[in-house]
């Protein structure tokens, strides 16, 4: 499995506008041998990293993207922290809202965050991506 395909799947599922679209995309990914999951997130960014990482792990386990081993959970946590670090310069001190996408193909795990950042309707958009190999 190519790491770019897994990363693309994580980004795609993080950008789905609804649970129905998410479900359709999960089936498409599964046909390619990629398991995927997503979870919504919104709130103040400074308090977000721990919550986002926890939600990513729970979502990945819920959809059986990963098992319950320390290595798999650690890979999701590390990739999620990397993705968050990429959006941090834009998000510090502001609110974020959007979705976290997780995908796994073979040994590759990718986590993507797709967030609107800002206040009210004055939003910036940011995408972050992290990757780990188990």
For the domain made up of 3-133, give the CATH fold: Hut operon positive regulatory protein HutP (3.40.1510)
Query: What is d(CA 131, CA 79) in angstroms, rounded to the nearest whole number?
Result: 5
Domain boundaries, the chain: 3-133
What integer pLDDT is reported at residue 84 of this predicted model?
96
**pLDDT tens digit at each of 134 positions of the chain:** 799 999 999 999 999 999 999 999 999 999 999 999 999 999 999 888 999 999 999 999 999 999 989 999 999 999 999 999 999 999 988 999 999 999 999 999 999 999 999 877 778 999 999 999 99
Query: What is d(CA 6, CA 106) in angstroms, rounded to the nearest whole number?
Result: 9
Question: Residue 56: phi, psi to the nearest 5?
Answer: -65, -45
What integer pLDDT is reported at residue 1 of this predicted model?
78
Q: Determine the angle formed by the axes of helices 48-62 and 70-91, rounding to 10 degrees.
A: 140
100 contacts 74 by C-beta, under 8 angstroms: no
């Amino acid at each position: 499995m190519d790491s770019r395909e897994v990363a693309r799947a994580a980004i795609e599922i993080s950008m789905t506008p609804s649970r129905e679209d998410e479900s359709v995309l999960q089936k498409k990914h599964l046909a390619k041998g990629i398991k995927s999951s997503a979870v919504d997130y919104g709130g103040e960014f400074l308090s977000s990293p721990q919550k986002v990482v926890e939600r990513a792990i729970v979502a990945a386990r819920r959809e059986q993207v990963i098992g319950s081993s320390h290595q798999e959970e650690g890979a999701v946590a590390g990739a999620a922290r990397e993705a968050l670090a990429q959006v941090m310069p834009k998000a510090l001190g502001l609110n974020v809202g959007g979705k976290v996408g997780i995908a796994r193909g073979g040994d590759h795990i990718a986590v993507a965050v797709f967030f609107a950042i800002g206040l009210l309707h004055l939003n910036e958009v940011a995408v972050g991506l992290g990757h780990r190999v188990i």
